[in-house]
Structure 1
């Protein structure tokens, strides 16, 4: 059975309405929507810092910065996440099945959060290890909290968002001055930090996925780091990516394929076109839809935060219908 889900972000500022929409349009695999329009504390980085354990953070003119103790904006991010989980608990009373939550990964955080004295965490070997371990520890508690609130969920997925990983590995993250680039992080270190986070998720009783909508991300590294699901934009895949995804499906892992535009298109695709596109992809890989369908998920190409409310709803409807066609 092919199912549909969302990547994570959603337009607007009304969390209650967004969650109701997701629950209604994506019944087989709903997710906790993220609404960055509510402010920086609700964005991808602020949301992950709210989950992080042991380390504090505060908001500076240049963005988020690690501190000795949580600052007022860090506390606001944690409070907002708690309020959203309260709403989730209320609206999903009696719900059973599968559910997905999202969090920014260690390399996304290292590339966007500053050290206490400035410059990105990415610039310091010890700081990036400490940040990854704090995120892993925080996720243990976060997963336990979500499980307590969703007692009927038998499959909880935690999607780790790593859109900056390709830039980290390719030495493309700019320094604070903007005139230089941070040194590349070698794949073994990148894999180790990601593995700490993915292992923490698995040990807490959830299924670890990794999402990336950036080209050049080594998908095999995600699998060897412990990802049991890989979420990608179909339009950005290389020949090596196709091979890695075929191996993932054949090996029993999940592939979430981004097929619906995340921004309002000039001409919207039909559900028939989406269905045929996925079937052509499977045929190219030599995979039988009836054999891998239970491990195949279709999504938008990335988050829907930049879409109009009308397109965001229409895109979810298209995904649900196309998934039914494929099934």
Structure 2
């Protein structure tokens, strides 16, 4: 896995509706930037809606109660493609001006993971796609193909080192069989952890790029233990004993933790990069790991997406992540 070290990064979503302004903020604050999602633009711009522009041979549309898989192309898909094209144009224009194109600079793209997507979109009959094993397996295959095509486009446009992030905030509910069904008489069976691992591995192997799996919900350490060779982007602000064991195992085997520690919305307390870095050093000490892992295996991020933040805090949060990452990479023993 080749992820940059000594850096911070963002999760994906940002406030506002202007892709050029957002790209300027992200690339100005971060050495490991990401392609922004701007859900304030409406349907087709959020994490789930964007997949209407990415899925291959699996059309999506907007129904009365939300997004659904459709039999043919839709206005939603055209709208989502327009949003995605605008976001790609914005970052390409910025990179061209800055002289980054062809430099191999890392950039992260985000896609809704297949299980969160299947738990969120409906079939034409109104049931969640997750209810039908064949349907969610189709979502897995389509996500893999769409991710592969998006990686190719970003590489062509930017000449970048592309990292793929799969957003799976609902993965715990999927594994526990707790996804809300259409009616109380409906049933959506739990998907075994091993099936989740095999499906995500199918995508990881097909895209053939470094992959991050992100969830801002409670981490599923049973999944983290079984799905190896990826980076895990997790909220680690209040680790219990299970989290300490899980983080320790993840790092000890050589995988990367993108530590969600910077608040996604400004709170009442002052947040400083030095405090964030010192806190992560203390976390590593509690686990009993050598502090060198701070520079080699840990990146810094917000706890979740920044779509709900003020523009001012979104910019500040990314800057704090970047500075904290630099501190981890510079001299971990000095923290």
TM-score (norm 1): 0.92
Contact 1:210/1:230 (8 A) holds in 2: yes
Distance 1:269 1:85 in 2: 31
Distance 2:226 2:152 in 1: 25
Distance 1:236 1:162 in 2: 20
Q: What is the 5 A alignment of 1:184-263?
A: 184-202=190-208, 206-215=209-218, 217-222=219-224, 224-225=226-227, 227-263=229-265
**1:323 counterpart (312, 322, 325):** 325
Matched, 1:161 2:167: yes
**2:13 aligned residue:** 9
Distance 2:51 2:248 in 1: 30
**2:148 counterpart (120, 129, 140):** 140
**1:311 aligned residue:** 313
SS at match of 2:48: helix
Please report the RMSD computed on the Cα atoms of aligned residues, expressed in angstroms.
Answer: 1.8
**1:170 aligned residue:** 176
Matched, 1:87 2:65: no
C-alpha deviations, 1:1-27, integer Å up to 9, x for none? 52100011101111111110000001x
Distance 1:91 1:77 in 2: 21
Deviation at 1:201, TM superposition (A): 2.0
Contact 2:231/2:258 (8 A) holds in 1: yes
Contact 1:263/1:306 (8 A) holds in 2: yes
**1:105 aligned residue:** 113
Distance 2:326 2:196 in 1: 37
SS at match of 2:164: strand
Deviation at 1:291, TM superposition (A): 4.3
C-alpha deviations, 1:58-115, integer Å up to 9, x for none? 1111111111112111121122212211222111123132111111100010110111
Distance 1:233 1:291 in 2: 18
Contact 2:163/2:211 (8 A) holds in 1: yes
Distance 1:5 1:78 in 2: 25
Distance 1:126 1:132 in 2: 10
* Distance verdict in 2 for CA 1:183–1:220, change over 3 Å: closer
Distance 2:204 2:119 in 1: 19
Listed as ranges, the gaps of 5+ residues in structure 2 are: 331-335
* Distance verdict in 2 for CA 1:281–1:179, change over 3 Å: farther
* Distance verdict in 2 for CA 1:160–1:237, change over 3 Å: farther
SS at match of 2:237: helix
Matched, 1:68 2:76: no
State how many pairs are aligned: 320
Distance 1:163 1:237 in 2: 18
SS at match of 2:266: coil
TM-score (norm 2): 0.90
